């Protein structure tokens, strides 16, 4: 279908309901709202198709298994992966990164080795590597950013050394919207034989991602930011890497043979999906992938770029407002501060006008420190936003400034 934002807005029930001002939802970077097809898929699965998967011999279990595995293939297609077995269902990006840190990191990173990240990272792609380095006697290296939150590519390259065992970088900054030149990062790392993990939580919902074209080794994203259910996400890993990794958790569903003396483990991806998974969540995630694919990720990217340009023009007309993070390549995330008004106060006042934004450090405290602010107000865009949402944002900011004048 063509990108018709007013038609798309009708797919989101939460935008049609409310007792106060109409909702201008500008917090998609934290969590996206859900379209009716995803809501319907969850209800339909629980009312007509639910059973546990993989081990049942009855028809309902076989049906649930088929739907779960079909969802895995939808995620594979959405990311452009070669094989469905390269897609591991997880709770979200955080668990995906922790899985790689535990299963790949502990077997490849030792005393004196290094992990290279960037100063743009969400805590989910910082703390797991920090803690792994402490545990293994390794060192965490951080590629810096400039005042506009551009990644310093020359400094990144200089930090790639003979002891670098992994690069872990965000594809898009959740805090300031910087779109990282990941192709260049991957090229530089792979030239030295270093694998790369990308945090795609903010990228996968915003523009086309093809893991084969990127030649990335691991890619993680969360369903709830991709207009799907919460508590579900996916890790892409190159098959040869996943095959060589030990399990993340142990228990039912991930074994091949168990004896009191020893256990052998299932092939991937089941090896990394211990216990009963979020079956309905996976099905819902598959529907979310279908929904975005039916719109077209190129169209999603163009719509967001138009929104961002309009928002930057509107906010640029407010002299008391300063945008934090002005990288040339950005996605639909606008972080800003207002002179003399705490970000939390801004968020509270805007909420009174029906404008939902995020205020805080956005799980990126080191980045906030580097940019010289304790917190920002963050307006983040989604496929359901229109120019009216942005006009309401600008008007609410002006009312906030008058209130605190």
CATH of residue 249: 3.40.640.10
What gap in Å lies between CA 255 and CA 279, rounded to an integer?
Answer: 19
Same domain, residue pair 285 and 385: no
Same domain, residue pair 206 and 259: yes
Same domain, residue pair 130 and 65: yes
Q: Cβ of 251: how many Cβ atoms within 10 Å? A: 10
pLDDT per residue rounded down to tens, the chain (405 residues): 457 999 999 999 999 976 678 899 999 999 999 999 999 999 999 999 999 999 899 999 999 999 999 999 999 999 999 999 999 999 999 999 999 999 999 999 999 999 999 999 999 999 999 999 999 999 999 999 999 999 999 999 999 999 999 999 999 999 999 999 999 999 999 999 999 999 999 999 999 999 999 999 999 999 999 999 999 999 999 999 999 999 999 999 999 999 999 999 999 999 999 999 999 999 999 999 999 999 999 999 999 999 999 999 999 999 999 999 999 999 999 999 999 999 999 999 999 999 999 999 999 999 999 999 999 999 999 999 999 999 999 999 999 999 998
Residues known to be catalytic: 363
Domain end marker among 245, 273, 294: 294
Same domain, residue pair 89 and 154: yes
Judge contact between 50 and 65, C-beta under 8 A: no
Domain end marker among 256, 277, 294: 294
Same domain, residue pair 53 and 175: yes
Non-local CB neighbours of 4 within 8 Å, separated by 6+ positions: none
Same domain, residue pair 203 and 329: no
Same domain, residue pair 107 and 231: yes
Q: Cβ of 91: how many Cβ atoms within 10 Å? A: 19
The two beta strands, 164-170 and 196-199, are parallel
Radius of gyration of the CA atoms of the chain, in A? 22
Same domain, residue pair 269 and 394: no
pTM, full prediction: 0.97
Domain end marker among 230, 262, 294: 294
Range of the domain at 75: 39-294
| Closest listed residue to residue 97, CA positions, set 284, 241, 248, 240 | 248
Same domain, residue pair 240 and 116: yes
**Structural element, H or E, at residue 247:** none
What gap in Å lies between CA 276 and CA 140, rounded to an integer?
Answer: 35
Same domain, residue pair 11 and 86: no
pLDDT of 267: 97
Q: Cβ of 5: how many Cβ atoms within 10 Å? A: 16
Structural domain total, the chain: 2
Same domain, residue pair 350 and 388: yes
Ramachandran region, residue 372 (left: φ > 0; alpha: ψ -120 to 50; beta: rest): left
Q: How far is CA 254 from CA 53, 95, 230, 278, in A?
A: 12, 17, 23, 15
Sheet holding 139-143, edge to edge: 87-90, 233-237, 218-222, 196-199, 164-170, 114-118, 139-143
Same domain, residue pair 23 and 90: no
Beta bridge partners of 168: 197
pLDDT of 1: 42
Within a 13 Å sphere around the CA of 64, how many CA atoms are in the beta-carbon half? 25
**Structural element, H or E, at residue 339:** none
Over residues 300-335, the pLDDT tens digits come to 999 999 999 999 999 999 999 999 999 999 999 999
DSSP alpha helix (H) spans, 101-224 = 106-108, 127-136, 153-159, 182-190, 211-214
């Amino acid at each position: 279908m063509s990108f018709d934002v007013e038609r798309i807005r009708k797919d989101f029930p939460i935008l049609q309901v409310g007792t106060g001002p109409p909702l201008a939802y500008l917090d998609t970077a934290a969590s996206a709202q859900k379209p009716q097809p995803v809501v319907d898929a969850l209800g339909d699965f629980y009312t007509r198709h639910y059973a546990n998967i993989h081990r049942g011999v009855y028809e309902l279990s076989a049906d649930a298994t088929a739907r779960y595995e079909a969802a895995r293939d939808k995620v594979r297609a959405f990311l452009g992966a070669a094989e469905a077995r390269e897609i591991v269902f997880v709770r979200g990006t955080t668990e995906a990164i922790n899985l790689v840190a535990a299963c790949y990191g502990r077997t490849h990173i030792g005393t004196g080795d290094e992990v290279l990240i960037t100063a743009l990272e969400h805590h989910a792609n910082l703390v797991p590597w920090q803690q792994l380095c402490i545990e293994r006697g390794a060192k965490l290296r951080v590629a810096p950013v400039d005042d506009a939150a551009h990644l310093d590519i020359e400094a990144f390259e200089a930090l790639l050394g003979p002891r670098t065992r992994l690069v872990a970088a965000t594809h898009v900054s959740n805090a300031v919207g910087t779109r990282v030149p990941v192709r260049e990062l991957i090229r530089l790392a792979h030239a030295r034989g270093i694998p790369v993990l990308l945090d795609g939580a903010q990228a996968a919902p915003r523009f086309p991602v093809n893991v084969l074209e990127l030649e990335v080794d691991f890619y993680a994203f969360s369903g709830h930011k991709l207009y799907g259910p919460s508590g579900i996400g996916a890790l892409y890993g190159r098959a040869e890497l996943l095959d060589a990794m030990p399990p993340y958790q142990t228990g039912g569903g991930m074994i091949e043979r168990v004896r009191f003396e020893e256990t052998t483990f299932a092939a991937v991806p089941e090896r990394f999906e211990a216990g009963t998974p979020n079956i309905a969540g996976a099905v819902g995630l598959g529907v979310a992938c279908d929904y975005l694919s039916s719109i077209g990720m190129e169209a999603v990217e163009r719509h967001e770029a138009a929104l961002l340009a309009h928002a930057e023009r509107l906010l640029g007309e407010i002299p008391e407002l300063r945008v934090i993070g002005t990288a040339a390549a950005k996605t639909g995330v606008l972080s800003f501060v207002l002179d003399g008004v705490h970000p939390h106060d801004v968020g509270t006042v805007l909420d009174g006008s029906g404008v939902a934004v995020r205020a805080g450090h956005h799980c990126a405290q080191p980045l906030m420190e580097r940019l010289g602010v304790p917190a920002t107000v963050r307006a983040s865009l989604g496929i359901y936003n229109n120019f009216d949402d942005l006009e309401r944002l600008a008007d609410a900011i002006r009312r906030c400034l008058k209130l605190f004048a």
